[in-house]
Chain A
């Protein structure tokens, strides 16, 4: 997979992976948001399960 937005460093500005592909950036961003939200949701579920023994 070619993730580089540049073919030369001469005159390069934003050079991070997929900087020239808004779609790819959006997909990666959405996955990162989902992972963050998912971790909080997982924490809620973990606690709900854990507290069963302590109700």
Chain B
């Protein structure tokens, strides 16, 4: 049989299709890795909860993930595509993100929408999980779900459209650069959590009558630490998802500046290491060492594409040192009960990251008319991200608290949410988790379950 050489047009088609499929494969596995973040958050929060609340914390975390997915389909993706100018939507640009668009489903002419939507859903669910840990053991499940949906499918994605978008106004106007979404994901979620915890109040027994903090220990520190390590594993998918696969051209950041996976590899690992060492230096505690690892990565996240690796290491140390101190400060000074230090790790870590890149800035942007990365641009953008997280978190939870809809009744909190809400016991054959004051109806329900 005679073989004919492929034509140039056939070769061109082959190359383009290979690039398209490689792009899909890359983001597919980034998304898969990001699911591990949620396995980590699940273990982390359950371990950080007392035995009487372990399952309720797990249910809350799982449901946050579940509710983010459809709501992000209904309106989250549209917000990202539409709102990059601020509060004025670009309806034309966002048409492909409408839930009834033909792009929002299997479409042989569109290999990109679904895979990018999927990656962004996992970013969204990450914000909800960050918030989730701060409010364990006393928030009402339904009020948590509403707040998680607002955070995950509205608030953070608005921040992403403003400052984590090829033409977001923060970059166009102020030159904002944030490779790893320290602002849109971590600062927004951390400051949202702070706003809610102020109105939610501390867990019963968290502070003595004179205001002295009393540590409430979770039921399984090993589970918490392993969960934190799983979050770190998942963040390699998260950071991979921060890169734009451009087919036959060099990788770029979401802002269009060139980057390599090698750059991100150098700096992520160095910042991770710095975070552990920094937290070990000030706490000696494994919980804070792993939380410090996260804070270390977030403290370098905006410039993971730009830093000299030892600088990322030093920024990681800074995050690892500051996060536990920040948590101690808000606990002692303001009597805020952030059960897992979400604000300190994500909010403060992200803030250090954005300001840090402002200090070590000067890099040019490629968006037409956008100024170079600068200290003032980073500082102002950090302020926007902090307000974008804090204001809706505080405002919504304030209204919920006034409606007596935010927190579980004190007696239910004392009894434990597993028996009240789930109702099951985490370890029914080992340690008794409940007192003899459980209403008879609940004991019967548990026994028959």
Contact = CB atoms under 8 A, between A and B. Distances in A.
Contacts of B99: 29
A3 interface: no
A7 B52 CA distance: 57
A13 B67 contact: no
A13 B420 contact: no
Contacts of B420: 50-51, 54
A43 B142 contact: yes
B402 interface: no
B11 to A, nearest CB: 22
Contact of B140 (A19, A22, A47): A47
B107 A53 contact: no
Interface string A15-55: 11001001001100100110010011001101100110111
A47 B142 contact: yes
A40 B67 contact: yes
Contact of A13 (B74, B108, B142, B408): B108
Contacts of A1: none
Contacts of B146: 40
B361 interface: no
A14 B70 CA distance: 20
Interface residues of A, number: 24
B411 A14 contact: no
B388 to A, nearest CB: 24
A26 B442 contact: no
Interface in B215-273: none
B145 A43 contact: yes
Interface in B384-433: 408-409, 411-412, 415, 420-421
A44 B109 contact: no
A43 B422 CA distance: 11
Contacts of A43: 141-142, 145
Contacts of A39: 67
Given A53-B439, A54-B411, A13 B145 contact: no
Contacts, number: 70
B106 interface: yes
A50 B421 contact: yes
A51 B105 contact: no
B100 interface: yes
Question: How would you classify the secondary structure of chain A's contact residues: helix, strand, loop or mixed?
Answer: helix
Contacts of B106: 14-16
Chain B contact residues (Cβ within 8 angstroms of A): what range?
20 to 34
Interface string B138-157: 00111001100100000000
Contacts of B103: 14
Contacts of B408: 47, 51, 54
Given A13-B109, A36-B67, A47 B102 contact: no
Nearest to B414: A54
B107 to A, nearest CB: 4
Contacts of B109: 13-14
A55 B408 CA distance: 9
A22 to B, nearest CB: 7
B195 to A, nearest CB: 21
B71 A36 contact: yes
Interface in B121-162: 140-142, 145-146, 149
A32 B70 contact: yes
A13 B107 contact: yes
A37 to B, nearest CB: 10
A32 B412 CA distance: 33
B107 A47 contact: no
B404 to A, nearest CB: 11
B219 to A, nearest CB: 21
B70 A54 contact: no
A47 B421 contact: yes
Interface in B166-197: none
A51 to B, nearest CB: 5
Closest 3 CB pairs of A and B: A14-B102, A16-B105, A54-B412
Given A14-B105, A46-B421, 13 more contacts: A14-B110, A15-B107, A16-B107, A19-B102, A40-B146, A43-B142, A44-B142, A47-B408, A47-B421, A50-B420, A51-B409, A51-B420, A55-B411
Interface of B: 67, 70-71, 74, 99-100, 102-103, 105-110, 140-142, 145-146, 149, 408-409, 411-412, 415, 420-421, 439, 441-442
26 contacts: A13-B107, A14-B103, A14-B105, A15-B108, A16-B105, A19-B105, A22-B100, A29-B74, A29-B99, A32-B74, A36-B67, A36-B74, A40-B142, A40-B145, A43-B141, A44-B142, A46-B421, A47-B142, A50-B412, A50-B420, A50-B421, A53-B439, A54-B409, A54-B420, A55-B409, A55-B411
